[in-house]
Amino acid sequence: MNKTLLTIATIGLLTLFSSAYYSAPADSRIGYKAPSLVLGNDNNDLSPLRQHRGENVLLTFWSSDDAESRMEDMRYDRLARSSHHGYTHVSVNLDRSASVFNAVVEVNDLDRSTHFTTSLEAQETIIKNWRLEGGYHSFLLNKNGEIVAIDPDEQALARIK
């Protein structure tokens, strides 16, 4: 009996300790840890998500040739700049030309400090990892880097603390 209890206790402790080191797989679905995001361009391979670790982040992907995603990014940019909020807006442009990106940012008066572009080489990985093949989306990440909403509305953003 004592040997059985000792075996059960040992298995329980091993399970407990091994689960403490388990990290959830990265995936671009709600409830999962967000995939990595490396821009791979003049930003010295910076990762805007790494810069904001421990913060709530609204991550927007867009392209100037996709009107819907461009308008959503503009809306999120205005929301982030106009109100006190509990998140940081990070915008990633997937245009093939940095000059087009720069023109769109300037013409639309977007916050340049939160808008980034990517290298062509990084775009394929970003599109695959974030499941953007069917269109661009915005992801709300909590302070632990987990995705809590996709394409959140203003009410969802207002609830963030």
Going from the C-alpha of 110 to that of each of 21, 38, 43, 45, 114, the distances in angstroms are: 41, 21, 18, 22, 8
The set of residues, in sequence order, having a beta carbon less than 8 Å from that of 7 and lying 6+ positions away, is none
How many percent of the chain have pLDDT more than 70?
81
Q: How far is CA 139 from the centre of its chain?
A: 5
Domains of the chain by range and CATH? 24-158 (3.40.30.10)
pLDDT value at 90 more than 80:
yes
Three-class secondary structure of residue 20 per DSSP: helix
**Which has more confidence, 110 or 83?**
110
Q: What CA–CA distance (Å, rounded) separates 96 from 51? A: 24
List, for residues 118-134, the tens digit of each pLDDT value.
888 889 999 999 999 99
What pLDDT was estimated at residue 13?
Answer: 46
pLDDT value at 159 more than 90:
no
> Could you tell me the end-to-end alpha-carbon distance of the chain, in angstroms, rounded to an integer?
51
What pLDDT was estimated at residue 20?
Answer: 39
For residue 35, count other CB atoms closer than 10 A to its CB.
Answer: 19
What pLDDT was estimated at residue 10?
Answer: 53
pTM comes to: 0.79
